[in-house]
Amino acid sequence: MSYSCLATVVALAAALAPMTASAESFSDFRGLWVSRFEYNEDSASSIQSRIADAASLGITDVFWQVRGKSDAYYFSNYESPAEGWQQQIDPLRVALDAAHASGIRLHAWLNTMPLWANSSQPSDPNHIFFNSSPSFRVTDINGSVEQIVGGDSTFGGTYARVNHVLPEVQTHINNVVNDLAVNYDIDGVHLDYIRWLGPNGGSSEGYRPDWDYLPHDAYSHQLYFNETGQDASDGSTFTKREAYRDWVQGRITDLVTTVGQTVNAAEISQAREIKLSAAVWNNPTTAERDYLQDYRTWLQQDLLDIAIPMVYLS
């Protein structure tokens, strides 16, 4: 990690293959996201084809998704293999070999906050979805644990999320990052969904996240009390609700900070450069207000090398 910048990345679409490289000269950084839905993790040729597509477009940096819902599309020492992956090949190793042979840098793309997204629970009993001491799941103010019903979270959105305020969750995510950085010659770590996943409280709450659905388990409340001396269960005024929101937001910045420290340590131990980047909301004011994603601070404090605003054509 050495500098902070904003970058533009284009998403890989199904129609990518017929595209040809533009005659214009490219900048030193031309990035492209390749999601887990756009390659077959059991087919080396599928993976190599995606990298070949990128090379044909003059792409310099590929952001290759290796973590979708607290699972792994590579051989992980900390997380369950992705559902359906046969584990006959290592998709990340194949992608890295193909990318580096083409002179392309490859960044490991992680969905950071999502825990699960299917109505049926994970088939692997070792998935962190089942962690119990403490639970990694979010509990609302009424004591209800977030569930996935009919493909959607009972708290709103598609994914159930991890309770990122817990030190055990932050340690786990850092272990995942270190595992990747040490055991694979990745050129970067890319954090996606490094934000609160909603819902917000509407106009009456200034469109801030709905206080009712923030972490309200006893452990999270105790952590808040230990740091602030305040009662997180007391939402009787906007000021009190806002103070808890701010604290939850600060724990996201803490996570970015510690991941950066993990990446820096891996750079030293592996004697190679590893960039830390994040996909961020296109409007920084909206990012901070609605999603507790204070990426202006992340850049100002050099917590990231690269911030990539999510700007889509459609």
The mean pLDDT value for 173-200 works out to 97
Nearest CA-CA partner of 61 in 97, 34, 81, 25: 34
Whether residue 236 is contained in a domain is answered as yes
Structure tokens at 118: 């299917």
Domain with 206 in it = 5-309
Check residue 216 and give its pLDDT: 98
Tell me the mean pLDDT in the region 74-88: 96
Indicate if the alpha-carbon torsion angle 117, 119, 124, 126 is positive or negative: positive
Q: What is the mean pLDDT of residues 78-94?
A: 97
Q: How many structural domains does the chain have?
A: 1
The pLDDT score that the predictor gives to residue 198 is: 84
Percent of the chain with pLDDT over 90: 83
Whole-number average pLDDT of the chain? 91
Is the pLDDT at 141 greater than 50? The verdict is yes
49 class by beta-carbon count within 10 Å (0-12 exposed, 13-18 middle, 19+ buried): middle
Residue 158 pLDDT: 87
pLDDT at 301 over 60: yes
What is the C-alpha to C-alpha distance for residues 157 and 278, in angstroms, rounded to an integer?
20
Residue 157 vs residues 78, 195, 253, 260: alpha-carbon distances, Å = 26, 13, 22, 28
- The confidence band for 314, taking pLDDT boundaries of 50, 70 and 90, is low
pLDDT in tens, 163-175: 999 999 999 999 9
* Mean pLDDT, residues 44-64: 97
Q: pLDDT value at position 10?
A: 47
Q: Write out the two tokens for 125.
A: 């009993």
Worst-scoring range by mean pLDDT, 21-25, 258-262, 303-307? 21-25
Q: What is the mean pLDDT of residues 123-149?
A: 95
For residue 314, being part of any structural domain is answered with no
Average pLDDT over residues 70-86: 97
Q: Which pLDDT belongs to residue 312?
A: 80
Compute the average pLDDT of residues 173-191. Answer: 99
Confidence of residue 1 (pLDDT cuts 50, 70, 90): low
Name the pTM for this structure.
Answer: 0.91
pLDDT, greater one: 6 or 81? 81
Q: Residue 112: name the closest of 70, 172, 152 by CA.
A: 70
Q: Is residue 105 part of a domain?
A: yes
Model confidence band, residue 262 (pLDDT cutoffs 50, 70, 90): very high
Q: Is the pLDDT of residue 17 over 50?
A: no
Q: Which residues contact 255 (CB under 8 A, 6 or more apart)?
A: 112, 164, 170, 173, 194
pLDDT score at 27: 57
Band the pLDDT of 190: cuts 50, 70, 90: very high
Give the residue among 205, 245, 71, 216 at the shortest CA–CA distance from 146.
216
Write the Ramachandran bin of 278: left for phi over 0, alpha for psi from -120 to 50, otherwise beta.
Answer: beta
Other C-beta atoms within 10 Å of 156: how many?
Answer: 13
Strand 152-153 and strand 148-149: the pairing is antiparallel
Q: Quote the pLDDT of residue 23.
A: 36
Per-residue pLDDT, 12? 40
Return the closest-CA partner of residue 164 out of 57, 291, 48, 2: 291
pLDDT at 75 over 50: yes
Residue 13 reports pLDDT greater than 50: no
CATH number, residue 102: 3.20.20.80
pLDDT, greater one: 4 or 40:
40
**CA-closest candidate to residue 214, choices 137, 139, 293, 288:** 139
